[in-house]
A and B are shown apart, each in its own frame.
Chain A
Amino acid sequence: MSAAGLSVRDIVVRFGPVTAVDHIDLDVAPGEIIALLGASGSGKSSLLRGIAGLEPIAGGSVAWDGLDLSRTPVHQRGFGVMFQDGQLFPHRDVGGNVAYGIAGLPRAERQARVTQLLHLVGLAGYEHRAITTLSGGQAQRVALARSLAPRPRLLLLDEPLSALDRALRERLVGMLRTTLKATETTAVYVTHDQDEAFAVADRVAVLIDGRIAQIGSPGEVWRDPARADVAHFLGYSPLLPAGVAAGLGYPDPLGDKLVAVGPGGLVTDPAGRRLEIVEQVDHRGYAAIRVRIPGDGTAVVRAPAQVPETAIAVRLDPAQCAVVAASPDGADRSGAPTM
Chain B
Amino acid sequence: MTTSTAPARADRRARGGPSWVWRCGWLLAAAIPLAFLALFFAWPVATLVGRGFASEDGSTLGAVVEVLTSARTWRILRTTLTLAVLGTVVSVALGVPGAYLLYAVRFPGRGLLRALVTVPFVLPSVVVGVAFLSLLGTNGPLGFLGWEESLPAIVAALVFFNYSVVVRTVGGLWSRLDPRAVEAARALEASPSRAFRTVTLPALLPAIASATTLVFLFCASAFGIVMVLGGVRYSTIETEIWYQTTQLLDLPAAAALSITQLVVVTLALLATSWTSARQERALRLRGDASGEHTWSWRRDWAATLVTGATVLGVLALPMATMLLRSLRDREGWTLDHYRALGTTVGRSLPVPVWTAIRNSLVVALEATAIALVLGTLVSLVVSRRPRDPLARKGLRALDAAFMLPLGVSAVTVGFGFLITLNRPPLDLRSSMLLIPVAQAIVALPLVVRSILPVLRAIDPRQREAAATLGAGPGRVLRTVDGPFLVRGLGLAAGFAMATSLGEFGATSFLARLDRPTLPVVIFRLIGRPGEANFGAALAASVVLTTLTAVVMLLAERLRPAEASEL
Chain A interface residues (CB < 8 Å from chain B): 4, 30, 52, 54, 56, 64-65, 67, 73-76, 78-81, 83, 87, 89, 91, 100-102, 104-105, 146-147, 149-153, 156
Would you call B7 an interface residue if the criterion is a C-beta within 8 Å of the partner chain's C-beta atoms? yes
Which residues from chain A contact B468 at a C-beta distance below 8 Å? 52, 54, 74-75, 79-81, 147, 152, 156
Q: A101 with B11: in contact, given A78-B2, A87-B462 (CB under 8 Å)?
A: no
Query: In the complex, are the beta carbons of A100 and B471 less than 8 A apart?
Result: yes
Query: In the complex, are the beta carbons of A87 and B459 less than 8 A apart?
Result: yes
Query: Closest CB-CB distance, B10 to chain A, in whole Å?
Result: 9
Query: Closest CB-CB distance, A196 to chain B, in whole Å?
Result: 21
Q: A153 with B8: in contact, given A80-B469, A100-B466 (CB under 8 Å)?
A: no
Bound CA–CA A65/B13 (angstroms): 17
Query: Closest CB-CB distance, A88 to chain B, in whole Å?
Result: 8
Query: In the complex, are the beta carbons of A153 and B479 less than 8 A apart?
Result: no
Query: In the complex, are the beta carbons of B469 and A101 less than 8 A apart?
Result: yes
Query: Closest CB-CB distance, B480 to chain A, in whole Å?
Result: 7
Contact of B469 among A56, A64, A73, A146 (CB under 8 A): A146
Contact of A151 among B8, B472, B476 (CB under 8 A): B8
Q: A105 with B8: in contact, given A67-B2, A78-B2, A89-B479 (CB under 8 Å)?
A: yes
Query: In the complex, are the beta carbons of B464 and A153 less than 8 A apart?
Result: no
Interface size, chain B (Cβ < 8 Å): 31
Query: In the complex, are the beta carbons of A83 and B465 less than 8 A apart?
Result: yes
Bound CA–CA A73/B470 (angstroms): 10
Bound CA–CA A102/B473 (angstroms): 16
Chain B interface residues (CB < 8 Å from chain A): 1-4, 6-9, 11-13, 16, 19, 387, 459, 461-462, 464-473, 476, 479-480, 483
Contact of A150 among B8, B476, B479, B480 (CB under 8 A): B8
Bound CA–CA A218/B467 (angstroms): 32
Q: A91 with B483: in contact, given A81-B468, A147-B468 (CB under 8 Å)?
A: yes
Q: Interface on chain A toward B: helix, strand, loop, or mixed SS? A: loop
Contact of A30 among B3, B8, B470, B472 (CB under 8 A): B3
30 A-B contact pairs sorted by A residue (CB < 8 Å): A4-B3, A30-B3, A54-B468, A56-B387, A65-B1, A73-B472, A75-B467, A75-B469, A76-B16, A78-B2, A78-B9, A78-B470, A79-B468, A80-B468, A80-B469, A83-B464, A87-B461, A87-B464, A89-B465, A89-B480, A91-B483, A100-B479, A101-B470, A102-B8, A104-B11, A149-B469, A152-B468, A153-B2, A153-B3, A153-B4
Given A89-B479, A104-B11, A149-B469, 17 extra CB contacts under 8 A: A54-B468, A56-B387, A65-B2, A73-B467, A75-B476, A80-B469, A87-B459, A89-B480, A101-B470, A149-B8, A151-B4, A151-B8, A152-B468, A153-B2, A153-B3, A153-B9, A156-B468
Which residues from chain A contact B479 at a C-beta distance below 8 Å? 89, 100
Q: A81 with B464: in contact, given A87-B459, A100-B479, A101-B469 (CB under 8 Å)?
A: yes
Q: A150 with B470: in contact, given A81-B464, A81-B465, A87-B465 (CB under 8 Å)?
A: yes
Name B4's closest neighbour in chain A (CB-CB). A153
Bound CA–CA A156/B464 (angstroms): 13
Name B482's closest neighbour in chain A (CB-CB). A91
Which residues from chain A contact B4 at a C-beta distance below 8 Å? 30, 151, 153
Bound CA–CA A327/B240 (angstroms): 79
Query: In the complex, are the beta carbons of A74 and B464 less than 8 A apart?
Result: yes
Query: In the complex, are the beta carbons of A64 and B2 less than 8 A apart?
Result: yes
Bound CA–CA A52/B483 (angstroms): 26
Name A4's closest neighbour in chain B (CB-CB). B3
Contact of B467 among A74, A105, A150, A151 (CB under 8 A): A74
Contact of B1 among A67, A150, A152 (CB under 8 A): A67
Query: Closest CB-CB distance, A205 to chain B, in whole Å?
Result: 21
Query: In the complex, are the beta carbons of A75 and B9 less than 8 A apart?
Result: no
Bound CA–CA A150/B6 (angstroms): 8
Which of B4, B7, B13 is most buried by chain A, counting CB atoms within 10 A of its CB? Answer: B4
Query: Closest CB-CB distance, B60 to chain A, in whole Å?
Result: 48
